[in-house]
């Protein structure tokens, strides 16, 4: 029997609170994620058993700033890989996979915890990542916000992916600027996306609460939904560390 005695579980997942349209058409406002993404549901009655259920993203006609009936696997903390996400970009390698195509063990394992409170508005370089071991899941966080956040330099992203062969990249937001040059023309745009997805390394973000981790290593888990052909899905990310 597996026991977690002597360990603690740390929730690293951003909380969203649904915006609910009740059956009487009253609306309870929700709470958006760190990227200002909403979670929209409409209350419905299941005639088969008399229960009340919520239909996701079916808030017809009440949310002008979000597509009616639209929902994305990128709302809140989520996980993504390249297939059907950024495989339309030029310059990416053959053999990229979707999140439904890689083994389940891809999504859990030993992780190093990298905190960058000492870096303010400057790039994260390989010399700042001396605790990263080959094959690690890499959790990154800092106490900084927005323009003060340190960011992953493009060369650092490729170093993590191709030299350290990390298993997963897990940045907290705010705290880490994990992508740069998003508006640059292809193939020079979004080097972190390219480095990770081009090497079939999942990106799990945005994380939160990384400052509560007390060790520089932990066991990390973030499972995507078991839905084929979906390029990104929501997750519950947790870290397990020794007390």
Quickly tell me which residue has 């020079």 as its tokens. 188
Residue 45, both tokens = 């009655």
Q: Where are the domains of the chain?
A: 17-72, 78-242
Tell me, what's the pLDDT at 38? 84
**95 dihedral zone (left: phi>0; alpha: psi -120 to 50; beta):** left
**144 dihedral zone (left: phi>0; alpha: psi -120 to 50; beta):** beta
Tell me, what's the pLDDT at 57? 74
C-alpha 198/C-alpha 206 separation (Å) is: 20
Tell me, what's the pLDDT at 66? 52
CATH code for residues 78-242: 3.50.30.50
C-alpha 162/C-alpha 140 separation (Å) is: 18
**pLDDT per position in the chain (243 positions), as tens?**
788 899 999 999 999 999 888 999 899 999 989 998 888 888 999 999 999 998 887 655 555 455 555 678 899 999 999 998 999 999 999 999 999 999 999 999 999 999 999 999 999 999 999 999 999 999 999 999 989 999 999 999 999 999 999 999 999 999 999 999 999 999 999 999 999 999 999 999 999 999 999 999 999 999 999 999 999 999 999 999 999
Tell me, what's the pLDDT at 60? 56
pTM: 0.92
Q: Of all helices (H) and strands (E), which one includes residue 110?
A: strand 108-115
> DSSP H helical segments within 96-190, as ranges?
154-158
Tell me, what's the pLDDT at 230? 92
| Cβ density class 198-212: b for 16+ within 10 Å, e for less | bbbbbbbbbbbbbee
SS3 label, residue 159? helix
Tell me, what's the pLDDT at 37? 85
Tell me, what's the pLDDT at 83? 93
């Amino acid at each position: 029997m597996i026991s977690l005695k002597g360990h603690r579980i740390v929730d690293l997942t951003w909380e969203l609170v649904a915006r609910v349209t009740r059956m009487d058409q009253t609306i309870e406002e929700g709470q958006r994620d760190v990227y200002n993404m909403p979670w929209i549901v409409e209350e419905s009655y299941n005639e088969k058993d008399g229960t009340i259920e919520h239909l996701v993203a079916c808030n017809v006609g009440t949310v002008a700033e979000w597509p009616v009936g639209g929902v994305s696997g990128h709302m809140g903390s989520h996980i993504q890989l390249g297939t059907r996400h950024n495989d339309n970009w030029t310059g990416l390698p053959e053999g990229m996979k979707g999140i439904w195509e890689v083994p389940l063990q891809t999504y859990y394992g030993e992780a190093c915890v990298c905190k960058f409170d000492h870096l303010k508005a400057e790039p994260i370089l390989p010399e700042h990542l001396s605790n990263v071991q080959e094959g690690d899941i890499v959790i990154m966080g800092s106490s900084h916000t927005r323009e003060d956040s340190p960011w992953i330099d493009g060369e650092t992203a490729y170093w993590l992916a191709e030299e350290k062969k990390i298993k997963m990249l897990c940045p907290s937001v705010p705290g880490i600027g994990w992508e740069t040059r998003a508006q640059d023309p292809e193939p020079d745009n979004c080097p972190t996306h390219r480095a990770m997805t081009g090497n079939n390394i999942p990106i799990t973000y945005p994380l939160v609460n990384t400052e509560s981790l007390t060790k520089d290593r932990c066991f990390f888990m973030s499972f995507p939904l078991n839905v084929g052909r979906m390029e990104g899905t929501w997750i519950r990310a947790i870290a397990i560390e020794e007390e």
